[in-house]
A and B are shown apart, each in its own frame.
Chain A
Amino acid sequence: MRKLALSDEILLSVQQPARYIGGEVNMAVKDPAKVDTRFCLAFPDVYEIGMSHLGIQILYDMFNRRDDVYCERVYSPWTDMDRVMRENHIPLFALESQDPVKDFDFLGITLQYEMCYTNVLQILDLSGIPLYARDRTESDPFVIGGGPCAYNPEPLAPFFDLFYIGEGETVYDRLFDVYKEHKKQGGSRREFLEKAARIPGLYVPAFYDVTYAQDGTIASFSPNNPSAPAQVVKELVVNMDDAWYIEKPLVPFIKVTQDRVVLEIQRGCIRGCRFCQAGNIYRPLREHSLEYLKKYAYKMLKSTGHEEISLSSLSSSDYTQLEGLVNFLIDEFQGKGVNISLPSLRIDAFSLDVMSKVQDVKKSSLTFAPEAGSQRLRDVINKGLTEEIILSGARDAFLGGWNRVKLYFMLGLPTETEEDMKGIAYLSEKVAETFYEIPTEQRQRRVQIVASSSFFVPKPFTPFQWARQCTKEEFSRRAYLVRDTFRQMKNFKSLKYNWHEADLSVLEGVLARGDRRVAPVIEEAYRRGALFDSWGENFNNDLWMDAFEACGVDPGFYTERERSLDEILPWDFIDAGVSKEFLKREWQAALDERITPNCRQKCSGCGARAFGGGVCFEN
């Protein structure tokens, strides 16, 4: 039996002890003494969230395929366990061996959203690893960051030894080979980092100097070490079917957010929505073949015993083999007690047909994401969804027996006017009217339409990376205006409007487009008790505002300022595939309310074609 790091007294006194014991089905078991490299993969949020993340599972499986590497996992201890560990001076440990994280060679932390940054510090702190890379010694692990937030790693730069920019499947093997060799030869921490910096896609923040101009903008950003390239090019899998995929995903004991087999059908997106970071940084779109997906669907359902399989992609309807895949899943698995879940489908005759086959129409709801309330603003953001498409899709769905609709919007998009805001309520009302126009005997009795708005946060590597973000007051005022417009609607009783917290979005904006000067603020907020900021109940905005003040950093500098096109942006040293020229063209097109065709209609020369694969070479 494995020995646990925590006593029964502790485990039985906290919520969900299963978060800390490992031992899940398909867990990798190795003798740590017999490997060259111990790698601890961290997801800086609670177990149930971290275990639901596909990327971690892929890397875990891929790393453990190597006999010379043992990859283990760690998640953020929840607040109750955090307290116990501090009180009893228990170092953070990995789930598999239950050994302290500090004893590992690498600590790899995935950065999926900005609001986890204080949890990154929690993981370092509880592990007993110095927060700042410059304070680490030869006995500390190398701390490496990855994931979408690594596309602007600067607010976290001083806390990391390395960042991996791009998709993890490609150069980790090289990093492990280099490390093994380095360990054998013996050499300093710095020498290893120099070797690592020469691997494509790897960024060593300590090897770059930043200077600032009088107005606070970046004056220069350049390497200070000959091993460090001026531009770090993102890593990407060119042929998806060659990429590593999981055959045996981990099966948690407790119910986690994504308690099902996840089949990634494609990576990237052809749509080019101008607010969307994922749609830009994962370019170009690359599909898996149908045969590949069939094979993995079988293997993963068998190895996990999950009762549900879900398709994952940014826009499933754009997958060219979707019909074949969905029919295969229904024919093959539906009779065997396996549920099929189909997220992010465009509402049309095909999707309504398959949805009625795989789910209980009465219990499910339809989701549209118009993102903006007016056609004008949808053109600005290049969201190719028109009112006609939404209303005819809704009508078909109502005739098919659905009567619940969810609509997702954003408030605070660039150029937004009062008319655009009111459009959210008008569009929701039109969906309700569409329902009531149908003769009573052909539809359900009532309709329920839930509109939700989040606040727009400009992200790096999007055409809106130069945009000004609304202040908290502006956000709230806009939400109230929408709410008041809803109240005037004829079918008000069938409509519901929700909006998100504004202060969280403002902070997210600072962290998303911040530079290295934001790092001390994150540390200060953490020292003052900020943790699990993405969890509403734990988020304390005052604490963050105090931290900004204490560090002398003005959050408005990062959010309330429209950047000029020639400003050096903190993330400019990264080549994400989409060129800055393309993003500038798109920013101008947005201001001109001009739409850009999707990748399958016409190539817009974004730059991603240089990777030599995917949708760019379909024809």
Chain B
Amino acid sequence: MKIRIKFRKQGMMKFIGHLDVMRYFQKVMRRADVDIRYSEGFSPHQIMSFAAPLGVGLLSNGEYVDIEVLSAEDSRTMVRRMNEVMAEGIEVVSFRKLDDSSKSAMSLVAAADYILSFRPGKEPEDLEVFFDRLEAFYGQEHIFIEKKTKKGVKEMDLKPLIYELRREGSSVFMKVSAGSTDNVKPELVMDAFYQFMGQELLPFTFQAEREEVYADVGAEGERRLISLEELGEDIE
């Protein structure tokens, strides 16, 4: 049975890198006695794959890991069992059953939401001006940036990859392309914006938080994003 687990990564867990989060979850499965499936062979490993690596330093309310199990209790019980053996900062939000034919979370990732909040003391002098400029920035037809590749510097248009960019309270909200082909990191957008303002984005200005990760279920040429969580169903 294929299962999709959604979890939050908060607090000091932001210092734990992706590979260590994977190792962490392998141990969680054993501590919580999840009846996970193992691969065959001399050194069997758990059938487990993560949707999209989260950079060190980022928080998240929408991380995903897919596993395969031989059996499971209802979703609420499974969420509780896993949360009972968690370290502070990681919390399982949902445990949902997937169709046997469903694709892995990793291959489905198409977009992600981020919220960038100013760190204390790093707020701009005038928030209104800041967000006015943000609107102007996003209102451009093209947002050309220089991207460093192996062959040198390449110019690319960021605009089609930013699906939403707006103010949310005193933070910045963005919905951007994600996944293996056009993965947009939030700092790439902010770098371009600061350049647009004629300023330099200093490190540690924002605390970034991933809010959600989406699959694109729309037909060819038409984008319809739904969260990875919605592709599964609770086990009653």
Does B31 lie within 8 Å of A17, measured CB to CB? no
Q: A305-B27, A305-B31, A307-B26 are in contact. Are A25 and B16 (CB under 8 A)?
A: no
**Chain A residues with CB under 8 A of B164:** none
Instruction: Write out the residue numbers on chain B whose beta carbons fall within 8 Å of the beta carbon of A484.
Output: none
Partner of A1, one of B56, B89, B207: B89
Number of residues on chain A facing chain B (CB within 8 A) = 28
Contacts of A25 in B (CB 8 A): 27, 31, 85-87
Would B88 and A2 count as touching, CB distance under 8 A? yes
Q: Separation in Å of the B119 CB from the closest CB of chain A?
A: 8
Interface residues of B in 2-22 (CB under 8 A from A): 10-13, 15-16, 20
CB distance from A393 to the nearest CB of B (A): 23
Contact status of A24 and B26, CB under 8 A, knowing A337-B44, A339-B43: no
Can you identify 21 A-B contacts, CB atoms within 8 angstroms? A1-B11, A1-B88, A2-B11, A2-B88, A12-B204, A18-B16, A18-B20, A25-B27, A25-B86, A251-B27, A253-B24, A253-B87, A255-B23, A301-B30, A302-B31, A305-B27, A305-B28, A307-B27, A307-B30, A337-B30, A337-B44
Instruction: Looking at the assembled complex, report how far the CB atom of B196 sits from the nearest CB atom of chain A, in whole angstroms.
Output: 25
Residues B30 and A360 in contact, CB atoms below 8 Å apart: no
Check A1/B12 contact, CB under 8 A, given A305-B26, A307-B26, A307-B30: yes
Q: In chain B, what residue has the closest Cβ to A19? A: B15
Given contacts A2-B12, A21-B12, contact A337 B87 (CB under 8 A): no
Binds B, one of A3-11, A278-286, A437-445, A578-586: A3-11
Q: Which label, helix, strand, loop or mixed, suits the secondary structure of the A interface?
A: loop
Q: Which residue of B lies closest to A338 (CB)?
A: B30
* B69–chain A nearest beta-carbon distance, Å: 13
B45 contact set on A, CB distance < 8 A: 337
Contact with B along A244-264 (1 / 0, CB 8 A): 000000010111000000000
Cα–Cα, bound, A1→B27 (Å): 22
Given contacts A253-B20, A360-B43, contact A12 B89 (CB under 8 A): no
Q: Is A289 part of the binding interface, using a Cβ–Cβ cutoff of 8 Å? A: no
Answer whether residue A306 sits at the interface, using C-beta atoms and an 8 A cutoff: yes
Chain B contact residues, CB within 8 Å of chain A: 10-13, 15-16, 20, 23-24, 26-31, 38, 42-46, 56-57, 85-89, 119, 203-204, 207
* Cβ–Cβ contact B44 & A23, under 8 A: no
Of the candidates B11, B15, B31, B87, the one whose C-beta lies within 8 Å of that of A12 is B15
Tell me, in angstroms, the Cα distance from A23 to B12 when the chains sit together.
8
B residues within 8 A CB of A27?
87
**Of B38, B44, B57, B86, most A-chain CB atoms within 10 Å:** B44
Is A485 interfacial (CB-CB < 8 Å)? no
Asked whether A4 lies within 8 Å of B27 as measured between CB atoms, the reply is no
- Choose from A12, A304, A339 the contact partner of B27 (Cβ within 8 Å): A304
Partner among A9, A255, A337 whose Cβ is within 8 Å of the Cβ of B38: A337
- 6 tightest CB-CB pairs across the interface, nearest first? A305-B27, A305-B30, A305-B31, A17-B15, A1-B11, A21-B12
| Complex alpha-carbon distance, A25 and B26, angstroms | 13
A8 to B119, CA, bound (A): 10
Residues in chain B near residue A351, CB distance under 8 A: none
Distance from B168 Cβ to chain A, minimum over Cβ atoms (Å): 22
Q: Within the complex, what minimum Cβ distance (angstroms) separates B15 from chain A?
A: 4
B204 touches A8 (CB 8 A): yes
A540, CB-defined interface residue at 8 Å? no
A317 interface residue per 8 A CB criterion: no
Which residues from chain B contact A312 at a C-beta distance below 8 Å?
A: none
Chain B contacts for A170, CB-based, 8 A: none
- Report the separation of the CA atoms of residues A194 and B169 in the bound assembly, to the nearest whole angstrom: 63
CA A255 – CA B44 in complex, angstroms?
Answer: 19
A303 within 8 A of B: yes
Q: Within A1-54, which residues are at the interface with B (CB < 8 Å)? A: 1-2, 4, 8-9, 11-12, 17-18, 21, 23-25, 27
Chain B: minimal CB distance from A314 (Å): 28
Nearest opposing residue in chain B for A252, CB measure = B20
**Contact partners of B56 in chain A: CB under 8 A:** 12, 17
Separation of A442 and B203 alpha carbons in the complex (Å): 63
List, in ascending order, chain B residues with CB within 8 A of A9's CB: 203-204
Assuming the contacts A8-B57, A11-B15, A23-B12, asked whether A305 and B43 have C-beta atoms less than 8 A apart, the reply is: no
Distance between A71 CB and nearest chain B CB, rounded to angstroms: 19
Complex Cα–Cα for A51 and B151 (A): 44
A11: min CB distance to chain B, Å = 6
Indicate if the CB atoms of B29 and A305 lie closer than 8 Å: yes
Q: Is the CB of B20 within 8 A of A255?
A: yes
Bound complex: CA A305 to CA B32 (Å):
8
A337 touches B46 (CB 8 A): yes
- Judging by beta carbons under 8 Å apart, are A304 and B15 in contact? no
Question: Would you call B26 and A23 a contact (CB within 8 A)?
Answer: no
Q: Which residues of B contact A17 (CB under 8 A)?
A: 15, 56
Which of A1, A21, A251, A307 meets B15, CB within 8 Å? Answer: A21
Known: A305-B85, A360-B43. 20 other contacts (CB 8 A): A2-B12, A4-B12, A8-B57, A9-B203, A12-B204, A17-B56, A21-B12, A25-B27, A25-B87, A253-B16, A253-B24, A253-B87, A302-B31, A303-B31, A305-B26, A305-B31, A307-B26, A337-B30, A337-B38, A339-B43
